[in-house]
Structure 1
Amino acid sequence: MHLSGSITALATPFTAAGPLDGDIDFDAWERLLRAQLASGTQAIVVAGSTGEANALSDDEYEALLRRAVEIVGKRIPVLAGTGLSNTAKTIELTRRAAACGADAALVVTPPYVRPTQAGLVAHYRAVADDGALPVVLYNVPGRTGCDLLPATVAALVDHPRIVAIKEARAEPERMAELLALRSPTFTVLSGDDPTATRAMLAGADGVISVASNAIPASMRRLCDLARAGQRAGAEAEALDAELQPVFDFMGVEPNPIPIKAVLARQGIGHGLRLPLTELSAAHADAADRIVARIAELEARPA
């Protein structure tokens, strides 16, 4: 498996019911997914952190994955978020994702437990050995309290089932260390929208994006330009500059609060599940402006 380009970490729309009992809005979710396919998104992540995986029941998790696999029909890869705080539970969830038809597992570093680097090597090798899916490593220290270091990644890249890393740290030095590990069997993906263009111009294979839920066509254009290298670098940087206000808005409150506020204004679902709450009223005007800007950007011809 070679993952590249514009990859969307899908949000999970809910109904307008209360935050403790709102159902998944499968109609809105399917419209979101089909818009991704129509706009050229090159892979999707179902039930990652943007998809509020921790708020989903087992039945909901499987229903989302099975529907995604059915709708996508092998046109693009379907990644399942399967990372948990315990290795055995992560293996179990990865096997369930495989049974639902997922193409790969996005496995975040174990949240909260703060394993050592040796523990991370053992964890990922066990998941890759026994989880029945190709594994995408996912490093996001701000959420997990654990940093997957490049030297640790280097100890994992030769495993035949470990195929990529999503790196959410934004420092160019971190990305440079990871890019040295790229190979025909191991790809490097940005997990940070604001710095993804810089990463791709430096050689990264693509981005797993939050903003692409709302701007799928723009993100596909951006990735195509940035991955073309220096011959399109100026165009990529110009488009990136136009998209920065969108990226910035996605960080005004914890993900996925801002993106779900945007999607709700686009008519795609409502609400979040506690402990996540609706976008603060202080950011409502900014959300309206961003939605208007997104409409202009997405209307541009490819």
Structure 2
Amino acid sequence: MNFGQLITAMVTPFDEQGEIDFIATRNLINHLLESGSDGLVVAGTTGESPTLTLEEKVNLFEFTVQVVAGRVPVIAGTGSNNTRESVQLTKQAEAAGVDGIMLVVPYYNKPSQEGMFQHFSVIAESTSLPIMLYNIPGRSSVNMSPETIIRLADIPNIVAVKEASGNLDAMSDIIENTPSNFALYSGDDGLTLPALSIGGAGVVSVSAHIIGPQMKTMIGHFNSGRIREAATMHRRMLPIMKELFAAPNPSPVKAALNLEGVAVGGVRLPMLPLTDAQLNSLNRVLHKQETILL
């Protein structure tokens, strides 16, 4: 399964009552596809998965599959720290017609490496869908080692990893020691180009909501050997990428989308909207970068 190079971890639009806004979701999906996204992750961390009910997630999967209509792969975030619940949601996602699933390292209960291996193995056995693992120690409090990822890559339908440890040495180890058709994606926007340079497949991005065309151009420059141009774009995009994580994700990117005229509403507690000072800072960076990135 080729998920593409620029995959967007899509926010979940809410209305004024804090319910999923499906009209805004349709508009957002079309905005992302027009901006160059090769695939969409639905109900991941950026989609506020911890605050979505299982029913809301399934509704979101079904709706996204319907709107996307085969234009790009739809990857459902079905991972949790409850193996049985993840199996159940994965089966529901498969029935909804998604193209793949993303499974995060179990958070809070801090499993051992063997516990992680067995958790992902059991879920993989429950589905025929291709699986992207998701290693994000900053949120899960445990790091899945390269050795565990390499072991899991031998399971036929585990085909990719979103590596958000920020560790390029670990990424190199994984790329070197997994099958050639196993794809490593950076989970950090700012490491997109470095990850590509060591053999990574691309990025699962938050910033692509705002600078998708520019990220797509940078990746295209890299693919065609125009490394200097790619590096220049990388440096110019970094301020926006940093600003989009200046407060807990996805508050900044939702605010940025609203500022750019793509209405997605606010965030659910325990996330908070940006303060006036944070919003002003975001606005300044967006306006400054618009002139630089033209």
Specify the TM-score bucket, using the shorter chain as the normaliser: over 0.9
Query: 2:230 maps to which residue?
Result: 236
Letter of the structure 1 residue corresponding to residue 254 of structure 2: K
Letter of the structure 2 residue corresponding to residue 292 of structure 1: H
Letter of the structure 1 residue corresponding to residue 252 of structure 2: P
Match of 1:119 among 93, 99, 115: 115
Q: Any unmatched runs of 5+ in structure 2?
A: none
Shift of 1:235: 1.1
Query: What secondary structure sits across from 1:2 in the alignment?
Result: coil
Shift of 1:245: 0.6
Shift of 1:3: 2.5
Give the distance between the partners of 1:119 and 1:67, measured in 2 at CA.
33
Query: 2:258 maps to which residue?
Result: 264
Give the distance between the partners of 1:109 and 1:242, measured in 2 at CA.
32
Shift of 1:60: 2.1
Query: What secondary structure sits across from 1:8 in the alignment?
Result: strand
Match of 1:59 among 46, 51, 55: 55
Offset from partner CA, 1:211-238 (integer Å, 9 cap, x none): 111222112112222344xx22111110
* Cα distance, 1:297–1:38 mapped onto 2, change above 3 Å: farther
Query: 1:282 maps to which residue?
Result: 277
Give the distance between the partners of 2:284 and 2:25, measured in 1 at CA.
24
Give the distance between the partners of 2:16 and 2:266, measured in 1 at CA.
6
Give the distance between the partners of 1:227 and 1:201, measured in 2 at CA.
10
* Higher RCO structure (Cα 8 Å, ≥6 apart): 1
Instruction: Give matches, 1:95-174, under 5 Å.
Output: 95-174=91-170
Shift of 1:68: 1.1
Query: 2:89 maps to which residue?
Result: 93
Please tell me whether the aligned partners of residues 2 and 185 of structure 1 are also in contact (alpha carbons under 8 angstroms).
no
Shift of 1:171: 2.2
Q: Is 1:249 the counterpart of 2:243 in the alignment?
A: yes
* Cα distance, 1:167–1:91 mapped onto 2, change above 3 Å: same
Which stretches of structure 1, 4 residues or longer, exceed 6 Å deviation after superposition? none
Query: 2:210 maps to which residue?
Result: 214
Offset from partner CA, 1:108-163 (integer Å, 9 cap, x none): 00111110001111111111111342110100000001111001111111111100
Please tell me whether the aligned partners of residues 201 and 227 of structure 1 are also in contact (alpha carbons under 8 angstroms).
no
- TM-score by length of structure 1 reads 0.92
- TM-score by length of structure 2 reads 0.95
Mean Cα displacement is larger for which, 212-221 or 180-189? 180-189
Shift of 1:182: 4.4
What is the Cα-based RMSD across aligned positions, in Å? 1.6
Give the distance between the partners of 2:292 and 2:131, measured in 1 at CA.
34
Give the distance between the partners of 1:241 and 1:90, measured in 2 at CA.
38
* Cα distance, 1:27–1:295 mapped onto 2, change above 3 Å: farther
Offset from partner CA, 1:176-210 (integer Å, 9 cap, x none): 11221343431111000111111112210000001
* Cα distance, 1:64–1:297 mapped onto 2, change above 3 Å: farther
* Cα distance, 1:206–1:297 mapped onto 2, change above 3 Å: farther
Letter of the structure 2 residue corresponding to residue 16 of structure 1: E
Give me the identity figure in percent.
35
